[in-house]
Amino acid sequence: MASVAFLGLGVMGYPMAGHLRNKGGHDVTVYNRTKAKAEQWVAQHRGKLALTPAEAAEGKDFVFSCVGNDDDLRSVTTGANGAFAAMTKGSVFIDNTTASAEVARELDEAARKAGF
């Protein structure tokens, strides 16, 4: 069982995180800008709640994101309390956001510099 962080619990992210927890049996910690949505997910799926993307990502094997746009993606990864600051060498970042190639290249560079 892997330890997983899931950032973004919208129309796609909510069920994706649920499948990782319930069907995959993984230990899932979630972060969502709207805390009530994350609390609802935790109550339904018995996962864990994080107050920041960094808190969610700390010590996790895999970090998933599924947020609204490029700016949201930058915010949860490289922004203040972003996941990239807490991820360690060997962890894997998987983005499911419909984002631009530009932000994908930016995050690739940031991840390589951070060693994951």
The CATH-assigned architecture of domain 3-114 is 3-Layer(aba) Sandwich (3.40)
Q: What percent of the chain has pLDDT over 70?
A: 100
User: What per-residue confidence (pLDDT) applies to 104?
Assistant: 97
User: What per-residue confidence (pLDDT) applies to 51?
Assistant: 99
What pLDDT band is residue 107 in, cutting at 50, 70 and 90? very high
Q: b/e string for 7-24 if b means 16 or more Cβ within 10 A?
A: bbbbeebbebbbebbeee
**What element of type H or E holds 49?**
strand 48-49
User: What per-residue confidence (pLDDT) applies to 52?
Assistant: 99
Question: What confidence tens digit (pLDDT) does each residue in 10-45 have?
Answer: 999 999 999 999 999 999 999 999 999 999 999 999
